[in-house]
A and B are shown apart, each in its own frame.
Chain A
Amino acid sequence: MTDIEKNSGAARIEINGEPRHVAPGATLADVLKLIGAPKSGFAVEKNGDIVPKSRHASEEIREGDRLEIVTFVGGG
């Protein structure tokens, strides 16, 4: 995260309700790599819409985007 945050043109976004900064022009795949998301077993919503895995590499992240990243936890 540090090198991107140093970038003055960083885009402010929100991931699971927490503020984050990413490089301008970053894709969703870049962001997922950056935050250490697992390779499978998770889903991503951008601004309320699910982004399918096939689009992670092409989906551009912009200033103000809200990402929700969910996974499976213990439950009944």
Chain B
Amino acid sequence: MANVNPSAVDPAAKNPSAQTDALRVGDLVFTSRLFVGTGKYKSFEQMVSALDASGTVCVTVAVRRAKLGAPKGESLLDHIDRNRYSLLPNTAGCYTADDAVRTAQLAREAGLSEIIKLEVLGDEKTLLPDPLATLEAAKILVKDGFKVFVYTSDDPILARRLEDAGVAAVMPAGSPIGSGQGILNPQNIRIIVENAKIPVIVDAGVGTASDVAIAMELGIGGVLLNTAIADASDPILMARAMRLACDSGRLAWLAGRMPKKAYGAASSPKEGLSKISKN
């Protein structure tokens, strides 16, 4: 039941390319399933190279007070090619629905775009989402015309409630933000995917490439990550690893994995073994 193999129904998926297998979120089309954050890099130069290596087409950004009188070249947007990357502003750092809604509205005014990564956190230690405040803010933003990509816990019922509220995509956490613990509850992510009619993007918790592959093999639409690239010893190399892992996991999902078995099953024929007879 978990293995609903889309290649069985969609001929284009049999030979997937970035174009035929693009992720669609409402009317938005993403030719890469990797969403990459722009925080924590050592320099803008490093960030630019890492984004390039990741193959992403959509990057997240945060909304903060502008530094007054900052010279040209010091602003993030001076380093992001808007023809290549679309911006997904976040409401990171918001702990109430009101703050998140206000931040989203400022982001829309600044970026002239309706897409927002909604994030309402419960506390500073765990950085886990506040489910009730997240749902409350999601309802307000949907009503206000936003295309809401909502960061949430991996709770399947909450994911459904958010979908019912009209969000564009649900983004369950693999594990806490920046923790690098990977996908702690793949079963919950699987249930969310099975129930959802909108894209599911795993957001937060990825530590290394295999986490991305494991997440993609669950049939999700994409993965959003930041720290796993930015905090790697070589962020550019890790960005490339993430790109390959994302493609690998996606292809494995489309291919439909073999069922797990309790015991060994030989790959070579049992019959026809050559026997040497000695006198």
Contacts and interface: CB of A to CB of B under 8 A. Distances in A.
A59 B25 CA distance: 37
A3 B64 CA distance: 29
Interface residues on A, range: 20 to 34
A71 B109 contact: no
Given A36-B68, A76-B60, 20 more contacts: A36-B70, A38-B75, A41-B110, A43-B107, A43-B110, A52-B109, A53-B109, A70-B66, A71-B77, A72-B62, A74-B39, A75-B60, A75-B61, A75-B90, A76-B37, A76-B39, A76-B90, A76-B177, A76-B225, A76-B227
Nearest 5 A-B pairs (CB), nearest first? A75-B62, A76-B37, A76-B226, A43-B109, A43-B110
B109 to A, nearest CB: 4
A44 B66 CA distance: 10
Interface in A12-51: 15-18, 35-38, 40-45, 50
B75 to A, nearest CB: 6
Interface in B13-56: 37-41, 47
A73 B93 CA distance: 13
Interface residues on B, range: 35 or more
Interface of A: 15-18, 35-38, 40-45, 50, 52-53, 68-76
12 contacts: A16-B66, A42-B110, A53-B109, A70-B63, A70-B65, A72-B62, A72-B111, A74-B41, A75-B37, A76-B60, A76-B204, A76-B224
Is chain B's interface secondary structure helix, strand, loop, or mixed overall?
Answer: mixed
